[in-house]
Amino acid sequence: MDSALSLKDILTLEKMAKTLRFLCADMVQEANSGHPGVAMGLADVAVVLSQHVRLNPKNPEWLGRDRLIFSGGHASALVYALLHLWGFDVSLEDLKAFRKLHSVTPGHPEFKHTPGVEVTTGPLGQGFANAVGLAMAGKLAQNMLGDAFKHKVYCLCGDGDLQEGISYESASLAGHLGLDDLIVLYDSNAITIEGDTNLAFSENVRLRFEAQGWAVLACDGHDFLDIDKTLNTAKSSDKPTLIIAHTTIGKGALELEGSAKTHGAPLGAEVIGRAKEALKWPSEAFYIPEEVKLHFSLQKGEALESLWAQGLSVEVQEQIAHLQAKDFSQVAYPTFELGQKCATRASNGAILNALSQAYLGFVGGSADLAPSNNTRLKAEGDFLKGQWGRNLHFGIREHAMGAICNGLANYGLFVPFCATFFVFSDYLAPALRLSALMQNQVYYIFTHDSIGVGEDGATHQPIEQLSHLRAIPNFEVYRPMDAHENVLCWQVALKRAKSAAFVLSRQDLEVASTASLEQVQRGGYVLYKSSKEPQISLLSSGSEVLPCLKAAHLLEAEGVGVQVVSVPCFDLLLQQELEYLNTLLVGRVLAVEASRGLEWFKFADEVFGMQSFGKSGRGADLFKHFGFTPENIANKAKALL
């Protein structure tokens, strides 16, 4: 909508807003659960935005579409009501099943679950950072494929999103990069669950975003003319734009209007009934006038996509096909010789570069640690304002980095990776969890994986992080014992095409594995077996496998039958059939890992792991101090016999 609104337009928008407002209130009432206030407060903004956003409900994955993110996922009633009215495959019956088991309208929006939902939102601030990732993806696409991918990324957020630290991180990066296709509509209703925001929030949001390089506009969130004018101004901005929409939570809910009581509970049938009567609206629940359906409908989306597709050259179509295929079958992987010493972070750097040469949609970077993480793509340029190369620089913003990569992945043309020290994976935990929940494809590179970090001390030595990541459903953690196993882990992970972490050593590790792809894709395999029937099995991962191998030789010299099992992916091992597991878990079982390792009790009679945090000192000295030596491992094994 690029021209001034007429009186007829305004009257139409008023009717659309009433429909949307009461549809959301009815959904929450029917479910007896949900958040009506924000949906009712944003209804006026949403109906004007409906006139601007470019979507095709018949093809929710149209690559040329605008992206629309609801960072405040608790406003899901508004999301689903809009999707239904716009013409997406979300029926009125689906709206009536809001928040019910097996419905396509769950309590918070879920990617790949509901047509038209771009990202899984719920934890506040994540959607904001996802939107930054989608805007970055748009710039990558423009750089590779041209202006056909010059579309907008709209994000609706609230006070809660802007109070979360992740919004600071991601907004800072967006402003620095000048992501001018990003428009954030801030629902500024000054209410959170506990009451007025002045209980804990009084900063000048305008000055904050201007300081971060954003254009900042403001509008009355209930004035259609003002909203429309502000959106048109934002669409022509040369910076990312924040629109502060001043709204009233629970707009139209009579005595509850403006109250925190409308935030997270149904309004009640009596209040809804009186509110409808006051606005001369039919009392019928889920009422949608036929003419309103027509005004909401995004039928023009098919024509927009058709026109967009006609403008793509054959060359661009071929490039799109390459990016969408996410095909890593032609990678020329590096090779490593037995006995060669190489840190798995170093071998990983060589692997990343090989992947980037085979697939042009492989993009990523580090939280200011690329030289240590070995993540630079050597043949590629930097992602900077106006350049948009494939080497991303997140700055020291781990939390935003993970969420941004989720946005990049959900764009549809890229496979992103990001990196930091393993101990700082804690900063990414919410994004890691959402990666798994969304079933997208993001690779998290975590180096400096154990007490082997050494002199930096306990603050930098991960202890509990492996157990945490292994506990995440639908998320795979690879901790290779050496460079050869690392190559195989990548081949397995890429074939499985889901989010995964690679946990890698700082210190050099001797190549001792001759494993096959078939062995590694089972998660664990017998690396070494003595001629005598094993009385004990040593299970381990990463840098602790080689000491176990040396311990096995010591045990064998004393006449003890032993086998060593390398477990590069604990998650995959859990999925193996009992018959195969019985070939690994022979005799007494000792698991050895320089981490907390409590999950190993699934398979082991005893776990030799870390019982404390680490210490400052040389990595080799720490392994000796904490007992991760062949001699001590052999003694612990004998104690089980």
Residues marked active site are found at 398
For residue 607, what is the DSSP state? E
Is residue 96 within a helix (H) or strand (E), and if so which, with residue range? helix 92-96
| Cα 510 from Cα 569, distance rounded (Å) | 19
Q: Check: CB of residue 158 under 8 Å from CB of residue 186.
A: yes
Residue entry with tokens 């949608």: 288
Neighbouring residues of 433: CB distance < 8 A, sequence distance ≥ 6: 472, 475
Is 404 annotated as belonging to a binding site? no
Query: Token pair of 370, please?
Result: 């690329």
For the chain, percent helix, then strand, then coil, each to nearest 5? 45, 15, 40
| Cα 317 from Cα 33, distance rounded (Å) | 46
Number of H helices, E strands in the chain: 26, 20
Is 159 annotated as belonging to a binding site? yes
Is 460 annotated as belonging to a binding site? yes
Is 625 annotated as belonging to a binding site? no
Cα dist from 287 to 50, 88, 283, whole Å: 19, 18, 8
Around Cβ 223, how many Cβ atoms within 10 Å?
16
Is 74 annotated as belonging to a binding site? yes
Residue 165, Cα to own-chain centre: how many angstroms? 16
| Cα 167 from Cα 124, distance rounded (Å) | 9
Neighbouring residues of 233: CB distance < 8 A, sequence distance ≥ 6: 217
Is 123 annotated as belonging to a binding site? yes
Residue 387, Cα to own-chain centre: how many angstroms? 25
Is 191 annotated as belonging to a binding site? yes
Is 585 annotated as belonging to a binding site? no
Cα-only R_g, the chain: 27
Q: Check: CB of residue 546 under 8 Å from CB of residue 489.
A: no
Around 108, how many Cα atoms within 13 Å sit in the side-chain half-sphere? 18
| Cα 479 from Cα 346, distance rounded (Å) | 14
Is 614 annotated as belonging to a binding site? no
Q: One-letter amino acid identity for 83?
A: L
Is 433 annotated as belonging to a binding site? no
Residue 101, Cα to own-chain centre: how many angstroms? 24
Q: One-letter amino acid identity for 501?
A: A
Is 208 annotated as belonging to a binding site? no
Is 482 annotated as belonging to a binding site? no
Residue entry with tokens 């990666």: 435
Is 108 annotated as belonging to a binding site? no
Binding site feature residues: 35, 74, 122-124, 159-160, 189, 191, 263, 345, 372, 424, 448, 456, 460, 506
Which positions make up the binding site for Mg(2+)?
A: 159, 189, 191
Which residues are annotated as part of the binding site for thiamine diphosphate?
Answer: 74, 122-124, 160, 189, 263, 424
List the binding residues for substrate.
35, 263, 345, 372, 448, 456, 460, 506
